[in-house]
Amino acid sequence: MRSCTKCEAPQHHAKGLCQNCYRKEGRKVGRNALAALNAHVAEDVGTYDDEWSRFKEYIGIYKPRKVGKIPQGKPESFLLISDLHIPFHNEKAILEAIEVGKGLQCGTVIVGGDALDCYSLSRFIHYKPVPIQKEFIAARLVFDILSRSFEKVIVLTGNHEARERKHFLKKLTSDEAEWLLSKCILERVTEDMPNVHLVREEFYETEVMWFTMIGDCLIGHPEKSSSVPGAPPVKFKQWIDDWHLALNLSRPRVIFMGHTHQFSANFIGNAYVSEIGCLCKIQEYALGPTLYSRPQRLGYVTFEQVDGITQIASIKHFFPFSDDIRGPSTLSA
């Protein structure tokens, strides 16, 4: 064992000192610090907090905190709803979401896909007669109320609106379908509402209408479900992590997902990921012997951005309660 650098005793510390010499050095440093403090106090006595901070800084245990820059600009508030499935929408829940959004001064409402159900155009079994005209009229009424309540309405396309194109492509040639569908059903519903904007992104000459980036927030309607709670938005995050460079998109800090009719919220790395629920009624097929994993969850979201940066603390999830859960709705003005 090595000897102390000041005496012949065994060395015990990395500074090369034995136990006694180490204690003496510590007392010497303390006396010097106290003497310096007393000399300073004698010259200029400040408040207790000031002197305590100076003393901690002198002896090396004080480190100033790093305070992040507060984003400058006016906060912009958003209301996010999804999966209305008109005419099976839950009118009470939609009206509540509108009132909450207006109360929080949201200037923009985002409809995250499956606004319409396109029930009569579905390839699945039709449990009840729901003419497409009835669905169209109901959708006009809902979007009229949204467009009158908010400055801007942003609409994503979901897999249910895609039923229209699939339906006609089975019956027409591609040229005939292209001519007939020069306007999709969402465009026909909202064509005289100038503040309603359908999402149309183009990547590699392909039109994409099911997701959009608003600031650092990704909102989408991917056709991904799972019996594992919270798994779909994680898969959505993995997808955008793989694709964001190819699509020339920044990696999002916040991800909101529709389609699943479920709620979940979690942090994956530095990203906040969430399923936001739905605003529709339960249909007959969900109560069949197929044994759907979980009942749907009514829900919607509000959040704020400053200069395109989502304020995580501003994200609020709402869960309206309604006993009116089955059958077509008849929303009245």
Residue 223's nearest CA partner among 302, 156, 137 is: 156
Residue 330 lies in a domain: no
Per-residue pLDDT of 269-313, as tens digits, reads: 999 999 999 999 988 778 878 777 789 999 999 999 999 999 999
**8 Å CB contact between 174 and 130:** no
- The reply to whether 62 and 82 lie within a common domain is no
Question: Of 21, 42, 67, which closes a domain?
Answer: 67
pLDDT of residue 316: 96
- Whether residue 24 sits in one domain with residue 103: no
Q: How many residues does the chain have?
A: 333
The pLDDT, as a whole number, for residue 60 is 62
Residue 331: the pLDDT is 42
Identify the pLDDT of residue 16: 72
Beta bridge partners of 304: 77
pLDDT of residue 32: 65
Cβ atoms of residues 92 and 322 within 8 Å: yes
Could you tell me if 120 and 16 lie in one domain? Answer: no
pLDDT of amino acid 50: 75
Helix, strand or coil, per DSSP, at residue 113: coil
Distances (CA, A) of 231 to 81, 199, 234, 262, 296: 20, 25, 5, 11, 15
pLDDT of residue 127: 75
Residues 33 and 91 in one domain: no
Residue 297 and residue 271 share a domain: yes
Last residue of a domain, one of 50, 67, 84: 67
Three-state SS at 279: coil
Judge whether 333 lies within some domain.
no
Q: Which residues contact 33 (CB under 8 A, 6 or more apart)?
A: 55, 58, 59
Determine the structural domain holding residue 46 and report its residue range.
1-67
State residue 327's pLDDT score: 43
Looking at residue 21, its amino acid is C
Burial call 211-244: b when 16+ CB within 10 Å, e when fewer: bbbbbebbbbbbebbeeeebbbbbebbebbeeee
Q: What is the pLDDT of residue 176?
A: 76
CATH number at residue 276: 3.60.21.10
Domain count, the chain: 2
Q: What is the pLDDT of residue 42?
A: 55
Cross-strand bridge partners of residue 154:
110, 197
pLDDT for residue 93 = 95
| The last residue of a domain, from among 14, 47, 67 | 67
Q: Kindly write down the DSSP assignment for every residue of 196-235, as one continuous string.
A: EEE--EEETTEEE-SEEEETTEEEE--S---SSTTHHHHH
Q: List beta partners, residue 196.
A: 153
Report the interhelical angle of 91-103 vs 132-149 (nearest 10°): 20
pLDDT at 6: 72
Q: What is the CA radius of gyration of the chain?
A: 31
* pLDDT at residue 123, as a whole number: 80
Structure confidence at residue 329 (pLDDT): 43
Q: What is the mean pLDDT of each run of 10 residues along the chain (333 residues)?
A: 73 68 67 61 63 69 52 86 96 95 96 93 80 92 96 96 83 76 88 95 92 96 93 96 93 97 94 97 81 88 96 95 49 37
CA distances from 141 to 13, 147, 329 (A): 80, 10, 11
